[in-house]
């Protein structure tokens, strides 16, 4: 009896390990190919994941290969671990289930595991890294975990294969399910390739005026934010603030690249600059005098000035993003606007030292916030920009 139980454990362990490699690779490819379709820069997202084990050393305005590969490997280790928990630690309840039952359990499991990472394991024990939940909105991780968990139903066929049970009654299902997954990855890869050639899926909506204005204005707003962040990466005296400035610069630079790609694909021209009147109405923009102050202020005074000016700049972007969540025509613009709201709010919290439970609380509030910070609207943002 002990030999049989030991053999069952080995079969389950080996099947789970192989499934972990497959599902984590699948979710990595889905994430990579889908990112720009919904307004995410995959390199920046992988860099943010890399900050969990590598801390501030992973953050650069131009994400390096070490950070990107580190983020991918950490993500794959996490996905692999969740598979092992589901099928090895929990084998008493899951190892003998049929594929469709596993699928029904895998969906709430993805919700549970992504929530555990976003709310507890990463920002609190054991990693204590607030950057991840404050910069990445929860549904990104949920989507990644759902992609990984979608391969769980092939486990029974893998278990039978390791156990030598041939033919397995689950073989046909596993082949069909794996084939559908492979076809999905190929389709997403094709869309990603076409997108890189400025051939994204066409713009979806009735009147493009609002979405065009949002892309123009936010790209220009982000361009100034990138300039400010670049100054801080050189002048900030606090090392953590320098790293956060690099994160802000990378995030805004990535968004600009997506805005440009979308515009070329949807409207078949180069992304134009906003007009003078449109530029004057953009909330939170710094004056040239303020930018000059950042480059010339004495070093001991720089950090406080940067935090104050970048906070105002971010809140201006949040005003525009909030307007887009209410008026966007194309669903991709809406999704991106909500992500910008979350990340800009989170970066304000990070600049002000949000950590631990406070970071979790702020991330959750940001996730459900429909409007920018209390008391800050488009009018106040505009006046803040004009009063300095």
Give the 3-state DSSP-derived string for the chain, with helices as H, strands as E and coil as C: CHHHHHHHHHHHHHHHHHHHHHHHHHHHHHHHHHHHHHCCCHHHHHHHHHHHHHHHHHCCCCCCHHHHHHHHHHHHHHHHHHHHHHHHHCHHHHCCCCHHHHHHHHHHHHHHHHHHHHHHHCCCCCCCCCHHHHHCCHHHHHHHHHHHHCCHHHHHHHHHHHHCCCCCCCHHHHHHHHHHHHHHHHHHHHHHHHHHCCCCCCCCCCCCHHHHHHHHHHHHHHHHHHHHHHHHHHHCCCHHHHHHHHHHHHHHHHHHHHHHHHHHHHHCCCCCCCCHHHHHCCCCCCCHHHHHHHHHCCHHHHHHHHHHHHHHHHHHHHHHHHHHHHHCCCHHHHHHHHHHHHHHHHHHHHHCCCCHHHHHHHHHHHHHCCCCCCCCCHHHHHHHHHCC
* Residue 378 pLDDT > 80: no
More confident residue, 301 or 7: 301
Amino acid 369: pLDDT = 73
* Residue 55 pLDDT > 70: yes
Lowest mean pLDDT among 14-18, 102-106, 130-134, 163-167: 163-167
* Residue 50 pLDDT > 70: yes
State the CB neighbour count (10 A cutoff) for residue 296. Answer: 9
The reported pTM is 0.92
Residue the block writes with tokens 């919700």: 111
* Residue 11 pLDDT > 50: yes
Amino acid 280: pLDDT = 82
* Residue 181 pLDDT > 80: yes
Mean pLDDT, rounded, for 230-256: 97
337-365: pLDDT as tens digits:
999 999 999 999 999 999 999 999 999 99
Amino acid 379: pLDDT = 36
Contact 349, 133 (CB under 8 A): no
State the CB neighbour count (10 A cutoff) for residue 275. Answer: 10
Mean pLDDT, rounded, for 309-332: 95
* Residue 374 pLDDT > 60: no
User: Is residue 7 very low, low, confident or very high in pLDDT (cuts 50, 70, 90)?
Assistant: low
189-202: pLDDT as tens digits:
999 999 999 999 99
User: Is residue 95 very low, low, confident or very high in pLDDT (cuts 50, 70, 90)?
Assistant: confident
Measure the CA–CA gap between 184 and 180, rounded to whole angstroms.
6
**In whole numbers, what is the pLDDT of the chain averaged over residues?**
92
Amino acid 364: pLDDT = 94
Percent of the chain whose pLDDT exceeds 70: 93
> What count of Cα atoms within 13 Å lies in the side-chain half-sphere of residue 160?
19
Let me know the angle formed at the C-alpha of 147 by 146 and 152, rounded to the nearest 5 degrees: 85
Q: Which two tokens stand for residue 99?
A: 């594929």
Amino acid 6: pLDDT = 52
Amino acid 8: pLDDT = 75
271-301: pLDDT as tens digits:
998 888 887 889 999 999 999 999 999 999 9
User: Is residue 246 very low, low, confident or very high in pLDDT (cuts 50, 70, 90)?
Assistant: very high
Mean pLDDT, rounded, for 92-109: 94
Measure the CA–CA gap between 117 and 142, rounded to whole angstroms.
10
* Residue 83 pLDDT > 60: yes
* Residue 371 pLDDT > 90: no
115-147: pLDDT as tens digits:
999 999 999 999 999 999 999 999 999 999 999
Structural domains present in the chain: 2-196 (no CATH), 209-386 (1.20.1260.10)
């Amino acid at each position: 009896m002990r030999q049989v139980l030991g053999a069952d454990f080995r079969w389950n362990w080996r099947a789970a390990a192989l499934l972990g490699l497959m599902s984590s690779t699948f979710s990595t490819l889905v994430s990579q190919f889908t990112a720009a379709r919904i307004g995410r820069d995959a390199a920046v997202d992988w860099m943010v994941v890399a900050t969990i084990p590598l801390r501030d050393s992973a953050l650069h305005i131009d994400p390096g290969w070490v950070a990107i590969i580190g983020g991918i490997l950490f993500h794959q280790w996490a996905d692999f671990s969740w598979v092992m928990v589901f099928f090895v630690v929990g084998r008493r309840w899951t190892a003998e289930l049929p594929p469709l039952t596993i699928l029904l359990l895998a969906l709430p499991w993805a919700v549970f595991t992504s929530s555990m990472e976003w709310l507890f394991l990463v920002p609190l024990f054991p990693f204590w890294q607030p950057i991840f939940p404050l910069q990445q909105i929860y549904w990104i991780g949920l989507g990644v975990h759902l992609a990984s968990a979608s391969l769980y139903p092939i486990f029974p066929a893998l278990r039978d294969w390791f156990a030598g049970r041939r033919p397995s009654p689950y073989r046909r299902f596993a082949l069909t399910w794996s084939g559908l997954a492979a076809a999905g990855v190929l389709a997403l890869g094709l869309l990603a390739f076409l997108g890189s050639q400025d051939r994204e899926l066409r713009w979806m909506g009735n009147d493009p005026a609002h979405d065009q204005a949002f892309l123009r204005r936010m790209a220009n707003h982000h361009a100034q934010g990138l300039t400010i962040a670049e100054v801080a990466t050189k002048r900030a005296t606090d090392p953590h603030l320098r790293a956060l400035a690099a994160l802000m610069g990378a995030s805004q630079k990535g968004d600009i690249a997506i805005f440009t790609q979308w515009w070329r694909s949807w409207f078949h021209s180069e992304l134009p600059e906003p007009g003078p009147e449109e530029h004057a109405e953009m909330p939170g923009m710094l004056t040239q005098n303020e930018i000059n102050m950042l480059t010339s202020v004495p070093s001991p005074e720089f950090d406080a000035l940067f935090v104050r000016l970048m906070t105002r700049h971010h809140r201006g972007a949040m005003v525009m993003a909030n307007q887009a969540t209410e008026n966007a025509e194309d669903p991709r613009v809406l999704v991106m606007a909500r992500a910008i709201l979350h990340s800009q709010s989170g970066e304000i919290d990070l600049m002000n030292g949000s950590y631990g439970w406070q970071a979790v609380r702020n991330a959750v509030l940001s996730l459900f916030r429909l409007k920018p910070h209390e008391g800050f609207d488009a009018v106040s943002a505009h006046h803040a920009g004009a009063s300095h």
